[in-house]
Amino acid sequence: MPSHVGEAANATFAAAWERLTAAERRVVEYFLARRGVARDTSREWLDQRTTGERLADQIAAFGGSWAFIGIFFGVVAAWVVVNTVLLARPTAFDPFPFILLNLGLSMIAALQAPIILMSQNRQAATDRLRAEHDYEVNLKAEMEIRSLHEKLDGLREQSWTDLVRMQQEQIGMLQQVLATHSKGSP
């Protein structure tokens, strides 16, 4: 590890390089190399999904939509109408307590719940990735701001040094003028 990396780590985190997390080390290296940290984590995450994860996301998206609610309501209403009004009581394939309908609804709920949970777990993982990335970006921004402050402080210190030097030169010139003027006056 070059000394400037350790100095940057110590200046930013008040910790030795060895005690930094992988993300903090990566940010210090990016900072010193003047490389950007920002990236599209959403695109990365979408590109890494398996077929099952894509399917779970699509099912969860459809299951949480108004279209699903409308279709669901329509199917249940049609089932009830067909079995109570259109079919005669003895020939109805699912008479009034609608046991077959209840079984179907239970099966839908039993399948839909784990699919939605899979999708939510994936969303939580995506949120964690975004939070880690935000931390890295914020960390690098903090390092850049500190660096700018140090540069500005250095420029200000140099300006004060230059001003003091010029003022001393002017005082010296004024003393020469006064000395010359006091010798030449009667």
pTM of the complete model: 0.62
Q: How far apart are CA 23 and CA 136, in angstroms?
A: 7
Judge if 58 and 118 occupy the same domain.
yes
Reduce the DSSP state of residue 5 to 3 states and report it.
helix
Q: How far apart are CA 27 and CA 142, in angstroms?
A: 11
Which of the listed residues 82, 109, 124 is the one where a domain comes to its end?
A: 124
pLDDT tens for residues 83-118?
888 776 677 788 888 899 999 999 999 998 999 899
Q: Is residue 55 part of a domain?
A: yes
CA dihedral 152, 158, 164, 167 (to 10 degrees): -100
Which residues, at least 6 apart from 25, have a Cβ–Cβ distance to it below 8 Å? Answer: 9, 17
Judge if 49 and 30 occupy the same domain.
no
Report the chain's mean pLDDT, rounded to a whole number: 86
Q: Domains in the chain: how many in total?
A: 2
The parent domain of residue 29 ranges over: 1-38
- pLDDT of 164 reads 95
Which of the listed residues 70, 104, 124 is the one where a domain comes to its end?
A: 124
Q: How far apart are CA 22 and CA 18, in angstroms?
A: 10
Q: How far apart are CA 119 and CA 112, in angstroms?
A: 11
Q: How far apart are CA 155 and CA 164, in angstroms?
A: 14
